[in-house]
């Protein structure tokens, strides 16, 4: 399994729209082959920051999702609500309970 951690900072006036669009994206991802799970996180001390932790069976499964129409439709909309480009890091899942 692979996990990708993405950190983004939102624009003040885009928080509600970003949350709605990301919720829709997560619901659509659940139907994708290889999808394992996701967490959307907001730090207690920074309400404009988000971390998206997505776990997939393979990085290839994730790549196919990124070519999906639902994903592509939300990409530009979400980017317009973010204050700068997202930062991502990939991890091999070594152990799960």
CATH number at residue 35: 3.30.70.100
pLDDT 10s digits, 15-33 = 999 999 999 899 999 999 9
Does residue 97 form part of some domain?
no
Domains: count for the chain: 1
Instruction: Report how far apart, in Å, the C-alpha atoms of 3 and of each of 56, 60, 64, 76, 92 are.
Output: 6, 12, 15, 23, 6
pLDDT 10s digits, 29-84 = 999 999 999 999 999 999 999 999 999 999 999 999 989 888 888 887 888 899 99
Reported pTM = 0.90
Does residue 57 form part of some domain?
yes
Q: In this model, does residue 11 exceed pLDDT 90?
A: yes
pLDDT at 97: 84
């Amino acid at each position: 399994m692979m996990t990708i951690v993405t950190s983004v900072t939102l624009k003040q006036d885009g928080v509600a729209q970003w949350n709605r669009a990301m919720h829709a994206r997560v619901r659509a991802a659940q139907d994708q082959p290889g999808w394992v799970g996701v967490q959307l996180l907001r730090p207690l001390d920074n309400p404009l920051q988000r971390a998206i932790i997505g776990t997939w069976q393979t990085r290839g499964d994730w790549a196919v999702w990124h070519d999906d129409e639902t994903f592509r439709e939300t990409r530009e909309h979400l980017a317009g609500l973010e204050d700068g480009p997202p930062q991502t890091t990939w991890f091999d899942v070594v152990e799960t309970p």
